[in-house]
C-alpha cells in the first residue's frame, strides 16, 4: 500500500524490483506492497528525527537489508518443495512438554531447544490461501484448521530446525524486540527501531505454535542496529552472539541444525564477496551444488567446527555454492560443479578457467555478519582436483 504523503522514490522502486525478483507472480505483488508500506512508514518516522525525505528513505532501505537477502529468504519460503515443507511439519509431532524452554540461560547464554525428531501422528495448521498444500492425506478441516495424517516416517523426508513461538519471544526480548500474531495468522518479529520480519509458517501442535529457527536468526540479522555486531559460531548447536548476548540452539546429538542456519548466510556471502556494497540494488541466482557433484577435499588452517562456504560462478549473475564444517584435521569437504578449482581472493579474479574454475572460500562462522568479506581466505593449495 502506498501512502499519499509522498511519491515513491526511484531508489525504493529499484530496491523493490530487486527484492521481489524471482518470486511467483501472485506473491511478488503482495510482497512488493508490504515492503513498500514498511519502508514508507519507517521513512515517515525517521523524518521526525530531522532527516530529509531522501535521507529517511535511504536509511529505511538500509535497515531492511540487502535486496538479495529478501529475495533469497522469501523465495525459500514461497517456493519450498512440498516434501521439504512436509519435513518441517514433522517437528510438530513432538510433545511440547519435552521441549519447553527448559533450563533458561546458561550464564550469558540463552539455550533454545529445537525440534527435528519424527513422530507419527496428526499435523494441524491454519487452513488458508497462504498455506501450501502438502502431499499427505487430509484427516479433517474445521475451525479454520486443516489436519494431515502422518502414517509413516516416509511422509516426511527432511529435518529442518523448528522452535516454539514462546522461545522466539524470549530470543527477541534479548534485543528489546517482540513477537506478535497478526490478524491474518502470520507471526511478526519486531525491533524497537521499527523494523520487522514476518513469516507465514506458524504451525500448531496442541497449544504450541512453531516457526523455523532460521527465520528468527534471519530476523535478528536483517533488523540489526548499526551498533550491533552479530556473529554465528558452532554447527551442531549454532550460537548467535549479538554484542554480549548469546543465543544457542540446542538439540539431541546428531541433529545438524547448522544446515538450516548457515544456508541463509551463503546468500549473504555471495552478496558481500561478489557485489561488495550490501546497500546497492542487485540480484543474482544461487544454486547449491548437489551431493552428487564433484567433491573437493580442501586443507585449511582453520579450527574444527568452523563453517566454510565455496562460491563459483556458473553463469551471468548465477553462482554455485556449497558449505560445510571443518573437521578436526583442518580439512573441509565441499561440492562444486567443476572438477578442478583455482582459488582466488576477490571477485575480479573470477574469470577464465585455463588452470581451473575460479573459486572463493569464505569463512561464515566467527565473522561479523556485516563484514562477511573479511572471511575470505586462500588455502595453501593453489588448486583442488575433485576426488
The pLDDT of 209-216, averaged and rounded, is 83
User: For residue range 135-187, what is the model confidence (pLDDT) as tens digits?
Assistant: 456 777 776 666 666 554 433 334 567 888 889 999 999 888 999 988 877 78
pLDDT for 317:
79
Least confident of 49-58, 83-92, 166-175: 83-92
Residue 319 in contact with residue 284, Cβ under 8 Å?
yes
Q: Which CA distances in Å does 353 have to 41, 190, 274, 334, 377?
A: 48, 46, 18, 19, 20
Cα separation, 230 vs 232, in Å, equals: 7
pLDDT for 310:
96
pLDDT of 92 over the 50 cut: no
pLDDT of 382 over the 60 cut: yes
The pLDDT of 67-74, averaged and rounded, is 54
The pLDDT-based confidence of 21 (bands split at 50, 70, 90) is: low
pLDDT of 85 over the 50 cut: no
The residues, any chain, with a CB within 8 Å of residue 363's CB and separated by 6 or more, are 302, 306, 307, 308, 309, 375, 376, 377
Beta bridge partners of 142: 145
Cell of 304: 574444527
User: For residue range 104-115, what is the model confidence (pLDDT) as tens digits?
Assistant: 444 478 998 887
**Run of H or E including 286:** strand 285-288
Residue 193 in contact with residue 178, Cβ under 8 Å?
no
pLDDT of 328 over the 80 cut: yes
pLDDT winner (highest mean) among 90-104, 107-121, 128-142, 330-344 = 330-344
The pLDDT-based confidence of 370 (bands split at 50, 70, 90) is: confident
Report the Cα–Cα distance between both ends of the chain, in Å, rounded: 53
Q: What is the pTM (predicted TM-score) of this model? A: 0.66
pLDDT for 351:
84
* Averaged pLDDT of the chain: 74
Task: For residue 167, give the 3-state DSSP assignment.
Answer: helix
pLDDT of 235 over the 60 cut: yes
89 versus 172: the higher-pLDDT residue is 172
pLDDT for 161:
75
Residue 222 in contact with residue 62, Cβ under 8 Å?
no
Laid out side by side, the sheet with 230-233 consists of 105-106, 109-113, 245-250, 239-242, 230-233
Residue 126 in contact with residue 186, Cβ under 8 Å?
no
The pLDDT-based confidence of 96 (bands split at 50, 70, 90) is: very low
pLDDT for 82:
35
75 versus 215: the higher-pLDDT residue is 215
Task: For residue 81, give the 3-state DSSP assignment.
Answer: coil
The pLDDT-based confidence of 299 (bands split at 50, 70, 90) is: very high
Least confident of 134-138, 207-211, 235-239, 292-296: 134-138
The pLDDT-based confidence of 90 (bands split at 50, 70, 90) is: very low
Amino acid at each position: 500500500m502506498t501512502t499519499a504523503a509522498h511519491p515513491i522514490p526511484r531508489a525504493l522502486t529499484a530496491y523493490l524490483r530487486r527484492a521481489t525478483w524471482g518470486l511467483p507472480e501472485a506473491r511478488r505483488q503482495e510482497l512488493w506492497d508490504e515492503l513498500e508500506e514498511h519502508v514508507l512508514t519507517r521513512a515517515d518516522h525517521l523524518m521526525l528525527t530531522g532527516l530529509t525525505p531522501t535521507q529517511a528513505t535511504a536509511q529505511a532501505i538500509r535497515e531492511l537489508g540487502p535486496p538479495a537477502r529478501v529475495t533469497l529468504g522469501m523465495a525459500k519460503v514461497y517456493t519450498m518443495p512440498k516434501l521439504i515443507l512436509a519435513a518441517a511439519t514433522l517437528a510438530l509431532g513432538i510433545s511440547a512438554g519435552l521441549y519447553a524452554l527448559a533450563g533458561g540461560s546458561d550464564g550469558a547464554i540463552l539455550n533454545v531447544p529445537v525440534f527435528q525428531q519424527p513422530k507419527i501422528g496428526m499435523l494441524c495448521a491454519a487452513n488458508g490461501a497462504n498455506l501450501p498444500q502438502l502431499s499427505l492425506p487430509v484427516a479433517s478441516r474445521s475451525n479454520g484448521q486443516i489436519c494431515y495424517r502422518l502414517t509413516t516416517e516416509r511422509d516426511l523426508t527432511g529435518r529442518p530446525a523448528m522452535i516454539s513461538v514462546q522461545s522466539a519471544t524470549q530470543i527477541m526480548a534479548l534485543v528489546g524486540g517482540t513477537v506478535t500474531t497478526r490478524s491474518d495468522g502470520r507471526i511478526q518479529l519486531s525491533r524497537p527501531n521499527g523494523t520487522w520480519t514476518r513469516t507465514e509458517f506458524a504451525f500448531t501442535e496442541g497449544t504450541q505454535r512453531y516457526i523455523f529457527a532460521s527465520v528468527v536468526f534471519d530476523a535478528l540479522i536483517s533488523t540489526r542496529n548499526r551498533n550491533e555486531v552479530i556473529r554465528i559460531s558452532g554447527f551442531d548447536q549454532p550460537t548467535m552472539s549479538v554484542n554480549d548476548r548469546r543465543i544457542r540452539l540446542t538439540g539431541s546429538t546428531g541433529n545438524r541444525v547448522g544446515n538450516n542456519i548457515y544456508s541463509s548466510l551463503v546468500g549473504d556471502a555471495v552478496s558481500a564477496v561478489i557485489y561488495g556494497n550490501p546497500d546497492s540494488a542487485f540480484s543474482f541466482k544461487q544454486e547449491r551444488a548437489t551431493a552428487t557433484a564433484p567433491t573437493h577435499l580442501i586443507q585449511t588452517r582453520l579450527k574444527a567446527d568452523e563453517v566454510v562456504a565455496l562460491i563459483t560462478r556458473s553463469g551471468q549473475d548465477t553462482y554455485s555454492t556449497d558449505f560445510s564444517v571443518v573437521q578436526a584435521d583442518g580439512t573441509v569437504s565441499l561440492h562444486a560443479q567443476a572438477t578442478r578449482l583455482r582459488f582466488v581472493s576477490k571477485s575480479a579474479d573470477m574469470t577464465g578457467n585455463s588452470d581451473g574454475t575460479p573459486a572463493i572460500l569464505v569463512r561464515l562462522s566467527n565473522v561479523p555478519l556485516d563484514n562477511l568479506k573479511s572471511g575470505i581466505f586462500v588455502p595453501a593449495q593453489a588448486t583442488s582436483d575433485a576426488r
